[in-house]
C-alpha cells in the first residue's frame, strides 16, 4: 500500500541557513509525489510535485525537492530559510499510480513543523 513517512515532527533552522524537510515514500509503480504547506488558520497550499523527468524539482517560494528513487525519498529543501517559511509541511503520494483516472487521491504524511528563528 502507498504510504508516506515524515520522520521529523519539527525542524528548527536559523534564518538564512539552508533547510531540509525529510520525506520517504512507499509505492507500487512510479510515484507521483507532492509537497504542500499549511500556514496557521489556512488550508494546504501546493508547493511542488514530481511526476517524471528531472530529479530536482523547483517549486513556489524558492523551495525545491530532490527525488531519489534508490532511497525512496523526496526531501524538501531551500538554500536560505526565511522566518515567513515557518509553517507545517506535508509530503504526499498519489494513491494510485494510474494516469487515466485523473482523480487526485493523495496519501499524506503526518506533517513536519518548520520553525525558522530570526
Partner 1 sequence: ETGVTQTPRHLVMGMTNKKSLKCEQHLGHNAMYWYKQSAKKPLELMFVYNFKEQTENNSVPSRFSPECPNSSHLFLHLHTLQPEDSALYLCASSQVLYGSGANVLTFGAGSRLTVL
Q: Would you count residue 118 as binding partner 1 (CB under 8 A)?
A: no
Q: Count of residues binding partner 1 (CB under 8 A)?
A: 31
Would you count residue 108 as binding partner 1 (CB under 8 A)? yes
Site for partner 1 in 22-51 (CB under 8 A): 32, 34, 36, 41-46, 49, 51
Q: Coil, strand or helix: which one is 19?
A: strand
Strands 10-14 and 56-58: unpaired
Closer to partner 1 at the Cβ: 44 or 116? 44
Look at residues 112, 61, 99 and name the one whose alpha carbon lies nearest to residue 83: 61
Residue 100 binds to partner 1 (criterion: CB under 8 A): yes
Pairwise CA distance, residues 7 & 93, whole Å: 15
Asked if 93 and 36 touch (Cβ cutoff 8 Å), the reply is no
Residue 19 found at the interface with partner 1 (CB under 8 A): no
Q: Which three cell numbers stand for residue 36?
A: 504542500
- Decide: is 67 part of the binding site for partner 1 (CB under 8 A): no
Given the rule CB under 8 A, which residues bind partner 1? 4, 9, 32, 34, 36, 41-46, 49, 51, 90, 94-95, 97-111
Amino acid at each position: 500500500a502507498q504510504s508516506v513517512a515524515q520522520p521529523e515532527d519539527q525542524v528548527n533552522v536559523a534564518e538564512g541557513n539552508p533547510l531540509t524537510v525529510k520525506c520517504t515514500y512507499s509505492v507500487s509503480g512510479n510515484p507521483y509525489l507532492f509537497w504542500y504547506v499549511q500556514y496557521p488558520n489556512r488550508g494546504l497550499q501546493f508547493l511542488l510535485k514530481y511526476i517524471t523527468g528531472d530529479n530536482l524539482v523547483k517549486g513556489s517560494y524558492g523551495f525545491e525537492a530532490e527525488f531519489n528513487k534508490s532511497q525512496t525519498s523526496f526531501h524538501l529543501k531551500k538554500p536560505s530559510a526565511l522566518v515567513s517559511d515557518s509553517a507545517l509541511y506535508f509530503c504526499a503520494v498519489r494513491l494510485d499510480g494510474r494516469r487515466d483516472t485523473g482523480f487526485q487521491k493523495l496519501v499524506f504524511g503526518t506533517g513536519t513543523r518548520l520553525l525558522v528563528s530570526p
